[in-house]
């Protein structure tokens, strides 16, 4: 990471944390072998904060996110979110808690292939019991905000990767959850679309006063965060305050806009080509609600069965 951009910090801001993790450990048992994924993690994340869990593959960053989201149970330790101890919740209570408090953005998008953009975005609202007319209205509004006003009736196979991720972002933010988790959200995108996606998520989180937690291996993605937690061998190796982000926010407050350096390129308008086949709305599948909730909260449809911890098949 660029020198003098980040400053190592040892103390947290003098606020009450929205997420509080204490002595968190996770050990996977494979036959007679024990594989430690997290080792005594202590972590505080605050309301309205944008944080990054930065680390290489196998460092434990995604496991830590799964613990915070209640998708996996820790071997030891405690996890509090907004005063609730999520590691002690039943699966039913966790599902309701995630529905109300959390949104998710995934590397592989996790869109349901037989639903169009409106229906994919409206899924979290359907779980909350919202009437169809209102959730369609809200889903359309969110799709316009992410620049997909002309793609609302398209299904995932009729959209580019960048457009699918925009649908995923709209779905994560549509119910205005307190926390949005983004697990390698730009891993399948080109550099231009990566900038668009990150700026879109950060802007929405700022405007809605939400906490955004991004998991990534990419230091350039980490620079969008207020604080960066470097994860190594299942531990928080270092914590950094992002001074470049502070400069950006100060300029926006003083001048009404951020003045980028000469080498920082701004994204151009998207010109993705769209498959022109007319969407089919026939033969819609009957989907198990419990399975669907888990898909929205962490099952990667593109992973192999052995890697899909929720064991889902849709």
Question: pLDDT tens, 76-120?
Answer: 999 999 999 999 999 999 989 998 999 999 988 999 999 999 999
Round to whole Å and give the CA distance between 291 and 8.
42
Round to whole Å and give the CA distance between 237 and 39.
11
pLDDT (mean) for 39-66: 93
Q: What are the pLDDT digits (tens) for 164-202?
A: 999 999 999 999 999 999 999 998 899 999 999 999 999
- Percentage with pLDDT > 90 across the chain: 62
Do 120 and 111 form a contact (C-beta atoms < 8 A)? yes
Rg of the chain taking only CA atoms, in angstroms = 19
For residue 246, name the pLDDT band (cuts at 50, 70, 90).
low
The confidence score (pLDDT) of residue 297 equals 59
How many helices (H) and strands (E) the chain has is answered by 9, 11
pLDDT > 70? residue 292: no
pLDDT > 60? residue 276: no
User: Model-level pTM?
Assistant: 0.74
**Mean pLDDT estimate for the chain:** 80
For residue 304, name the pLDDT band (cuts at 50, 70, 90).
very low
pLDDT (mean) for 238-250: 66
* Helix-helix angle 91-101:289-296, to 10 degrees: 50
Domain ranges of the chain: 16-260+286-298
Round to whole Å and give the CA distance between 201 and 193.
12
CATH class of 16-260+286-298: alpha beta
The confidence score (pLDDT) of residue 309 equals 41
Q: What are the pLDDT digits (tens) for 18-36?
A: 999 999 999 999 888 999 9
Compare 128 and 8 and report the one with higher pLDDT: 128
For residue 1, name the pLDDT band (cuts at 50, 70, 90).
very low
- Greatest extent of the chain over all pairs of C-alpha atoms, in Å: 61
For residue 234, name the pLDDT band (cuts at 50, 70, 90).
very high
The confidence score (pLDDT) of residue 314 equals 33
Lowest mean pLDDT among 81-85, 129-133, 255-259: 255-259
For residue 238, name the pLDDT band (cuts at 50, 70, 90).
confident
In this structure, what token pair is assigned to residue 314?
């849709």
SS (H, E, C) 83-125: CEEHHHCCHHHHHHHHHHHEEEEECCCCCCCCCCHHHHHHHHH
In this structure, what token pair is assigned to residue 204?
């929405």
pLDDT > 50? residue 275: no
The confidence score (pLDDT) of residue 239 equals 85
Angle at the Cα of 219 from the Cα atoms of 61 and 192, rounded to 5 degrees: 115
DSSP alpha helix (H) spans, the chain: 61-68, 91-101, 117-127, 132-145, 161-173, 191-208, 219-222, 243-255, 289-296
Torsion of CA 296, 299, 300, 301, to 10 degrees: -80
């Amino acid at each position: 990471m660029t020198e003098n951009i980040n400053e190592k910090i040892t103390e947290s801001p003098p606020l009450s944390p929205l997420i509080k993790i204490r002595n968190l450990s996770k050990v996977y048992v494979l036959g007679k072998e024990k594989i430690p994924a997290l080792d005594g993690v202590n972590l505080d994340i605050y309301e309205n904060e944008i944080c990054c869990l930065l680390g290489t593959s196998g460092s434990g960053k995604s496991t830590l996110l799964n613990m915070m989201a209640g998708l996996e149970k820790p071997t030891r330790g405690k996890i509090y979110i907004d005063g609730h101890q999520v590691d002690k919740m039943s699966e039913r209570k966790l599902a309701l808690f995630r529905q109300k408090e959390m949104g998710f953005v995934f590397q592989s998008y996790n869109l349901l292939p037989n639903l169009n953009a409106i229906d994919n975005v409206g899924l979290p609202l359907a779980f909350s019991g919202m009437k169809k007319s209102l959730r369609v209205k809200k889903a359309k509004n969110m799709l316009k905000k992410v620049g997909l006003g002309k793609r609302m009736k398209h299904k995932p196979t009729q959209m580019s990767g960048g457009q699918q991720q925009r649908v995923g972002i709209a779905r994560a933010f549509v119910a205005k959850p307190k926390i949005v988790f983004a697990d390698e959200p730009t891993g399948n995108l080109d550099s231009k679309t990566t900038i668009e996606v990150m700026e879109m998520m950060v802007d929405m989180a700022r405007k809605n006063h939400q906490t955004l937690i991004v998991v990534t291996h990419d230091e350039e993605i980490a620079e969008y965060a207020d604080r960066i937690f470097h994860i190594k061998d299942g531990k928080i190796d270092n914590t950094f305050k992002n001074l470049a982000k502070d400069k950006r926010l100060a300029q926006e407050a003083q001048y009404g806009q951020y003045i980028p350096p000469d080498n920082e390129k701004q994204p151009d308008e998207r010109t993705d080509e769209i498959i022109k086949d007319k969407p089919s709305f026939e033969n819609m599948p009957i989907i198990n609600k419990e399975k669907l909730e888990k898909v929205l909260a962490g099952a990667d449809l593109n992973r192999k069965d052995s890697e899909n911890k929720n064991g889902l098949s849709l």
